[in-house]
Structure 1
Amino acid sequence: MALNKAKVLKSAEKYVVQGKVSHAISEYQKLIKEDPTDLPLVNTLGDLYVRIGNIPEAVKCFTRLAESYDNGGFVVRAIAMYKKVSKIDPAQLQALSRLADLYLRQGLISDARAHYLQVVESLLRKNEVENAISILQRIVEVDPENPAIEGRLAEVCLKLGKKSEAARAFHSAAQKFRRKGSLAEAESHFRKAYELDENNLSVLLNYAGVLNDLGKTDEALSYLNRIQFNDFNPEVHEAIFNVYLKSERLKEAEETATHLVELDSNYYKLSLSLGKSFTERRDFESAVRQIGRVVEIAVEKADGEAVESQLKAILQNDPEHIPTLLELIKFYNLSNTHHNISSLLEQIGNLYVRQDQLLEAASIFTELAKLEPSNPSHRDNLAQIKERLGLKGEEIELPRLVPDMSSIADKFVSEPTLKTIASPVEIEEEVDEEAILQAHGEEQVKGFIVEGDLFSSYGLYQKAIDQYKKVLELIPNHVEIHEKIRDMYAKGGDLPKAAQECLVLANIYAARKDTENANRNFTQAYQYDPNLHQEPIHKATLSESGEVEIHAEPSTVPQKEISSADLKRLQELLEEIDFYFDQGFLAEAKNCIDEYLRMVPADAELLKRLDRYEALSKAQSIGAPSPEIVELMAESENGARRPAEVQIEEFETTSTVPSDVGTGDKRIEPAAGLETTAVAQDAKTTVEPITAAGSSESFEEIMIDLDHELKGPSLESVGKPASSKIQNTAAEPVPASGMDSGLEDIFAEFKLGLEDDDNEVPDFETHYNLGIAFKEMGLLEEAIAEFQRALRGQSPSGNGEEFVKCCNMLGLCFVEKGLPQVAVKWFTKGLSSPGRDEETYLALRYDLGCAHQQAGQTKAALDTFLEVYGANVNYRDVAEKIENLKKSR
């Protein structure tokens, strides 16, 4: 026979009213057995177990709820439920551990660390040392770049007799200190790691390295010399090289580097480092010698840029250093960068002539003539040199200074550089360009290109552009030259001009009917300069004249010129859409979006808002009760999702949310007489703030007063609302004396300073949403703490929507907690925040009146309600409250 759910539920509620909690539990168990997915009933059952002191069963119910929330993606609600578990049963390590994990997922590192520490403390009381160390390691993982915490972990492991774990932790912490530049701390931790594990080569090398960083080179070498060289170990040789280099023992460093590179070419950078040191000491001969040893290796490993930069660094100090120039030619030849070689050879040849080294000069000009056989000046220079040498036609052996240039002469200039790339539809123009080449000579064009490339290699982009433009004066449609100019503008940071070159290239390609390259250049043009055209998307098409035209993508709305009034209206619509999103009014936002689309096609600004509209629509379809709760469930829980089989939106704890926060048509009311922490209708939750006379107290003064209220001994004795909270019938935490005194000292040392090591920037959304969740669960102390933390990231002047929202929630929490005097301060502070809408101020003023009324401040309550009545006579039940207050006077 099917269970009559309504009848059983009514019976259960009746038992609760009569105080027959055990009978009520039996009825709720029947309902849950019939429908295990009814989470609100599970929550109610847990609260009833708490009332009769059956904490283990209550923990099972609340843990089940927490797991359901977590699986559904509602991390904040899961945190609140586990917090509820830990509050009724502080010995629940699983709940504490899950809390820490969930806090970590929310990015709240200090909270995660605090809860892990509670787990560790409990484990140490039970003498479960291995498990405690495991959790301590998780604390280190929570903040992996904090070496101080890992150092404390190492000390704990050492005192617990775990030497290998301590050595690893000391080593890891030391490496982190070294990366941060804290060399003294790094040395201390490396030394401790070495003392625990002297045979660990990695520890020894790192220890020697940090000693070297500190300038203690002799001490570093003494440790390195302890290593037995049974086998070739490049890391040890590299460490020794670094010590020699640091101590400026360059001869020993050179011997070590040469030996190491001979054994393993992967260490070629040691020679480059040594070359840099020689350059800094202006010993250019030694620097070139070091670089020359590894040029081929560097080019082979695609690291030619390091070689080129070092050689150019020497030339910046001595532009006429011939060995460096010769090494640069060798590098360019190996890396197939031939366009720079001609000018370098000519420079070297002239330097040899000036130094009267004529044989060397003859050798250079001989190779130059091979490289550029059509250039008569090279042959003339070579003839003059031979004449000065007294040679009349006979050949003599010349020194080999550079590679044979005849092997690269035919590759000196690439084929595309030697001809014009012109439009195939302009054949006559192409013929004219060939005539231009013949008239001016290919060598002249090549000369411009070579000079431009040389300037480019030295980073002189404008000079390179000037040379390239000389080519364009002769051959306007030279594609490769336009590309070079484009690249020079881009490298020089002149992106608008780079974009213009892209458009020129697009024109050329479009005239050749090469649509792919034309579109590619158009795309690149708008990447360089997004403001190049008003339309958001462009394509290149070919007009009848062969010129490129730019068109927008087809739109369903006819294109027309937008007037200034329309532009102003569009901006207003965007602002209205943002406002409606913030308030949760999606229907109104949708109307604005529709109006925007009727005026113009969707642009980038509107697309952003369409994405947000879609996200908020999905969230609101879940049944979130208010804009703030929409943000809680949809925006701040990392893409929360709902399993189809669990109807979480119907969940309502016995500590219910305020009465104006609904959950749709299906609302489960709390059983009559069941203990709740619901806010009375008079203190309705409204997260819409409001204006009022400014408070004479500063933000800091209110926080100080609040601390006094919370820490005062009379806090728990203050009169409470009619609905009491869940009684904490669980046993108190085990006193510290339950832990071995030695372990207690160790744990205290580990915690030392962690509380003050919180550098987190308060994240408003996360803490605010946690506060909402805690308040729903009746965890008012925790809710207040989270709202306070959310406030820390706000301006003390109170000029902001987030500030007002927190003031409102803090006021409601203190009203519910039975501290209306403190609530008055927060409502007043919220009213003093400027720039809010009148509805927000009206709601805050109403709540302020309720707080005055609860505090027994009849006159203040009446005055406040009269202000509300003056603004809106139909606002809530303000007229009734005024009448009641008048009668009570």
Structure 2
Amino acid sequence: MSKKDKFLASAQKHLERGSLEKALSDYQKAAEEDPKDTRVWLKIAEIQIKRNRKEEARDVYLKTAEIYTDQGFFQRAVAVYKNLLKLTPGFVDAHFKLADLFRQLGLLSDAMQQYELAAGVYQKLGKVSEAMGAMRRIVDLNPEHVLARIKLAEAASQAGLKDEAVKSFRLAAEQLKAQGRTDEFLRVAERLLTHAPTDLAFAKEAAAAYIERGNARFALSKLQPCFNANPKDLDTLQLLARAFEQLGQVAKTLSVTKELGRLHKEAGRHAESLAAFKRVLALDPSDDEARLETSRAQPALSVRQVAESAVSPAITFSEMAVPQFLIPRESSSTVAAVGASSSEISTGQGRSPLAPNSTDEVERLLSEADLFIKYNLLDRAVDHVRKVFDLMPDHVGARERLAYTLVQLGRNNEAATQYALLGEQFRYADPARAELYTKQAAATRLGAEDATDATAESGASPEFGMPVTDTSSEILEVDALDAEILEDETSAYAVDAPRSYVPLTDLATQSGLRAEKPPASAGWPPPSEPDPDDWSPPTTEVTLPTFEEFDRVEHTSAEGFSEAALTADLEQVDFFLAEGLSEEAQSLLQDLVARYPRHPALAERLARLRGLEAGAVPQPVPSVASEPLFYAPRAVVASGGQPDAGTHGDLGIAYKEMGLYDAAIKEFRLLAHDPEREIYALAMIGECFEAKGALPEAVIHYKKALNRGGISEKESTQIYFQLGRVFEALGDGKEALYFFEKVARRDPGYADVSARVVRLRGGAPPPPQNPLAGADTDSVNVALDAISGGSNRSRS
């Protein structure tokens, strides 16, 4: 027997007797005989842990992992580093070494996660430069990871490295724009312009994107410094003209367009000058300067019919009075001038003059359409916008709004038609703009064709990747309530009263800003954008709003390594389940579900975990090494079959309890195909969205459940209460009271509904806690909270 074996035998005897010190001494002697024997080192670490010597155990784990790495046993090294981090969480060196191992294994997503954890540790310690080093590794590892680049930019900003912050924000913005993610591009653009307010070229780029989104008010805040820097810049003037026209400020549109015509004429660009003055005549046929310039360029017109007049001086930005969030309210004379111009347009184009109250009616219709959009009643919004064309067939803002809303509904072909009509409308007056609309029409129609197959398979909207919902037929008992809301809110629009246009979440909680109502003529933002009047031009650091689905990272692991890693992790899960360690099992399963979604082996273990938490006795588990990696659990999937409805329900509940709401929603959507469980599935989807903080989606699915036939009184009562709770969280007291009263009439003792009704009727302040307190957040918002310091923690 060798010395090593003697020491090992002696150490084992001491362990059996409980003599840890003597056993440790023998194992250390055995390690001296064979320094590469990892089993001995792991025994030493185990004893050190029992002696509560964590630092010594950590050092032994580090040594063991290095031995495994040198020997090429990377998976074993990974397991050792994971145990080390459980022993000493936040040990940065282990995160870096583990990330390097994952890179060698091709597990890039896991490597990025370790770098993120290392960066988080450094940030908690106030070591910003070290944290930035970890963030740079993430960006180097995956240059297409936009959120990682944004985090790096924010860290650079906090460290005072302005140039690096600007560079990272710019690269992130370029990536988002190239991907067609305009909403996120604009939010990053706001951060970039906060750090580089003199970047006028990028400011114009952002302004153009805002105008395309129908959000001209934001565009004006970006164009003002551009105009101040160079009042004769043609690009700036083109964008100003479009912005003012979108806002319905005809007099300002005329002023800017005429300046464009003059500048083109001075530069000898006669075709462009003629197009600009034709556009002026299209807006105001009585404009003397435009008639004179077009008659000179077209001799067919009689010059004698044109009244000679002096050319107006160059415009200034102060003459192009911009909306309230930039300067004080316009005078009544300016508004009257705009109204007069609108009347002239109608007459000049051969239509009957608009009635004196037609402009007010158009504004009312657009305001009500905005309200319908706020509550996600998109079909009703479309109907309202169409009524505008009975009064003003060529209203550009209304047609742009209609096209955008149709895209949101997934009706891309109809939206393309609207863009094509806009292109035809500007065909002669503004060929460049007409070409933009024509391209937009083609792109929209092409997008509809490309998305057809994918939509047929998944039921997803080609625009947003979510199921298209027809909300017009799903709103239950809301018409009367809508009438009350419209009466209150649209009357408020007329006096510019505050409006809370938010994505049905509390923007004041989310960003620290109070929302205000825009004038009724304002360009409406899409649901994912804040209202422009909610913001003023940024002068200080602002928190970065939520970015939907920034965290999509392609898992580039090699299949062989993935299978081996999963097998090892499943063995550990089985150990936890067998020992009744539910918390440890849940933690590891949550990580595995994120990496291997919908894997049947995980489904079976999730079911066992639920049984364990319910008090069931743990059952012995077979060895994972002997079972096939991709198998169908007998209780879940028959050979060659698909999971049954009960399995989808069980998985959905398991995912929901673990906070994996997106995964839960997918399972409940599949469960909804079972007519007998459809109501339950829709209600659970609503609860998942409510927990995520996606309150509009929660309302939609609760109301879908209410509209299904065969719903019981008990089920409807519960859903009424949940709707009331959601609307109370939104600050919509009337709507909340409506649903709570329905519950109280059925069952006054249901939960705390009586107290809620009394509070809402009496105008008493709401309780200090959020009605939705405890709602979890998704991984992207957790990451964004780390950026903003947790100031916008209201939704996930």
Higher RCO (CA < 8 A, seq sep 6+): 1
TM-score of the pair, normalised by structure 1: 0.30
TM-score of the pair, normalised by structure 2: 0.33
Q: Mark the structure with the bigger radius of gyration.
A: 1
